[in-house]
Amino acid sequence: MHSQFFYLLFNLVFLPNLVFAQEIALTFDDAPRSDGNLYTGLKRSEILLKKLEQYDVPQVAFFANSNKLDDVGELRLKMYGQAGHIIANHTHSHPHIHEVGVEAFIEDIKKADQILQELPGFRKWFRFPFLNEGRDEDSRDRIREALSKMGYINAYVTVDNYDWYLESMFQQALKEHKKINYELLKELYIQHIWESIQFYHKIGLKALNRPPKHVLLLHENDLAALYLDDLISFLRGEGWSIISPEEAYSDPIVDHLPDVLMNNQGRVAAIAREQGIEKRNLVQMSEDEQYLEDYFSKKKVFR
């Protein structure tokens, strides 16, 4: 009787949390990105740090390209590391594997490793440029082996999106001195990321029979600096917790390297692909440049 009661109580209290856990870590690629048309790189870093502190997000990860480390670039990464955030490897020069070849690609990772390991907050985490892990099995496996030998984990994402394309449209509009509807831009930026989260969350629930600890891909750009606080508030309002990347990479899928050639969509999509889900069901409509151009023009975000 007692044990049944406690079993029931356990399920009532804990099961909903296990089934409905909605957790996501924030990660920013391509740091330190150069000056934008809205913010200088330094100003952007200061804003990001201030907002993370104000909104009580003690740890995010910045995936860095070490060829961007001029004096200011290095200072910015140090500011991130000293504030408790993680600095990790995104190669030295952001190459395409198929353009430079596997050997040169691995050398580029090693070069970044040597430069970045001097920085505070550095971890041996590797984020593939373009989320491209190799177009054939031989390349993929040689790079996986090299990373493993160097003591790296594959710092995958679970939620891909086109924030980088929204940023490029925004930068173009600034350059052309267009009138920008910032309220609408904020709404569409958050909507784009929110739809991406929901899309990959559904795939994750199906593929894993549980919610994964998510990793959101963002870029260290002006839009992130503009709207990070609104994004964090929005996600919390929807019942999501912002977790640290360390916590996210404690998910068992960190050890699950899917045996597929499924690039660009992240880890849960690759696991779903491995289970036989067709690729067209793993790509969302909004991860498309023309789609976003048309949508933004219809909405008249920039005039």
Binding site for Zn ion (CB under 5 A): 29-30, 129
Nearest to 283 by CA among 134, 162, 185, 163: 162
Going by DSSP bridges, is the β-strand pair 214-219/23-31 parallel, antiparallel, or unpaired?
parallel
CB of 237 to Zn ion, least distance (A): 29
CB of 219 to Zn ion, least distance (A): 7
Residues 6+ apart with CB under 8 A from 57: 26, 232, 242
- What contacts 237, CB < 8 A, 6 or more positions away? none
Q: Which residue is nearest to Zn ion (CB)?
A: 29
In this complex, which beta carbon is closest to Zn ion, that of residue 29 or of residue 133?
29
d(CA 142, CA 140): 6
Residue 88 C-beta: closest distance to Zn ion, Å = 12
Residue 29 vs 302, nearer CB to Zn ion:
29
When the beta carbons of 69 and 272 are compared against Zn ion, the nearer one is: 69
Q: CB of 91: closest distance to Zn ion in angstroms?
A: 8
| Cβ nearer to Zn ion, comparing 153 with 208 | 153
Q: Give me the least distance between CB of 217 and Zn ion, in Å please.
A: 9
In the complex, minimum distance from the CB of residue 112 to Zn ion, in angstroms, rounded to a whole number = 12
Alpha-carbon distance 232 to 50, whole Å?
13
Query: H or E stretch including 61?
Result: strand 61-64
Taking the least distance from each CB to Zn ion, the nearer of 123 and 207 is 123
The CA–CA distances, whole Å, from 292 to 67, 253, 298 equal 30, 31, 10
CA distances from 84 to 28, 64, 68, 119, 245 (A): 15, 16, 21, 12, 12
Measure the CA–CA gap between 237 and 69, rounded to whole angstroms. 37
Nearer to Zn ion, 30 or 160 (CB): 30
